[in-house]
Amino acid sequence: MKIASWNVNSLRVRLPHLLDWLKAAEPDVVGIQETKCVDEQFPFAELEAAGYFAAHNGQKTYNGVALLSRQPLVDVCRDMECFADEQRRVIAATVGGVRVVNVYVVNGQAVGSEKYEYKLRWLAGLRQYLEAELQKYPKLAVTGDYNIAPAPEDTHDPAVWEGGILCSEPERAAFRALLDLGLKDSFRLFDHPPGTFTWWDYRQAGFRRNLGLRIDHVLLSEPLAAACTGVQVHLEPRRLERPSDHAPVVSEFTV
């Protein structure tokens, strides 16, 4: 079984890339972020033809998250009960006994900004939400664009990034608070080459120069972490013409 996370930066633009990648990678479940479309524009038919059930929590222009699955998606939920939010950033569903929560965490723009304060409030809400989900579902996977690089080695140049947005201590503390619930950063269960990232700025030839960050993560509860056999970043879609600025992250399981 494979559970993946991918920020596609507009699903309508990236649908051909997504369909090609689904065929090549054969993930069982995919959390998609930044669909940037309303539910009426979501390509249910194309994804069904590709063999995937889908659930979407969309809005116009910004944000928007979806779950794709080869098996039916059960008990779909589109908000965090404990945190009211007009922005569409969460979707959760149960697939074959595994609860999958897919999140698009607030970017935060700049440390100290209003959006940054919203990001920290949002992450506190996420912690509370996931704490309750873990009570209900021992097998929990949390896919997402977290917009947090957990450690200096998750940046191409700590001198540039440390203390700034995506890398500030309060953001990292909020990420650790999620792990403190009993979740594992699945990527760190395995060894990876230095400079393994999931996002590269479109500007300044960031991908070609590997000026990246690791900000997309699949967190796993203990039972799933114990069954996880590997985590990979798929660079192929990032090499294409008109790519998303993010690459897919795939966690693989024995079951």
Partner DNA sequence: ATGGTGGCCACGCCA
- Applying CB under 7 A, among 77, 107, 111, 125 the residue interacting with DNA is 107
Tokens of 33: 């972020």
**Pairing outcome for strands 212-213 and 216-221:** unpaired
Q: Report how many residues bind DNA under the rule CB under 7 A.
A: 18
Using CB under 7 A as the binding rule, whether residue 106 contacts DNA is answered as: yes
Q: Rule CB under 7 A: say whether 240 interacts with DNA.
A: no
DSSP 254: -
- Rounded Cα distance between 201 and 186, Å, is 24
Q: Is 52 a catalytic residue?
A: no
Q: How far apart are CA 6 and CA 167, in angstroms?
A: 20
Q: Binding residue for DNA (CB under 7 A) from 109, 179, 209, 255?
A: 109
- From 28, 116, 137, 145, the catalytic residue: 145
Task: Please identify, using beta-carbon distances, which residue of 109 and 229 lies nearer to DNA.
Answer: 109
Stretch of 8-16, 69-77, 125-133, 169-177 lying at the interface with DNA (CB under 7 A): 8-16
Residue 250 interacts with DNA (CB under 7 A): yes or no: no
Interacting residues with DNA between 70 and 99 (CB under 7 A): none
Within 124-153, the residues that bind DNA by CB under 7 A are 147
CA 214/CA 193 separation, integer angstroms: 13
Query: Considering the rule CB under 7 A, would residue 16 count as an interface residue with DNA?
Result: no
Q: What is the helix, strand, coil percentage profile of the chain, to 5? A: 30, 30, 40
The pair phi, psi for residue 104, each rounded to 5°, is -115, 95
DSSP codes of every residue in 146-189: -----SGGGBS-HHHHTTSTTT-HHHHHHHHHHHTTTEEEGGGG
Give the residue, chosen from 22, 36, 90, 219, that forms a contact with DNA under the rule CB under 7 A.
Answer: 36
145 belongs to the catalytic site: yes
203 is a contact residue toward DNA (CB under 7 A): yes
Q: Which residues bind DNA (CB under 7 A)?
A: 9-10, 12-13, 36-37, 60-62, 106-107, 109, 115, 147, 202-204, 242
Catalytic residue list:
104, 145
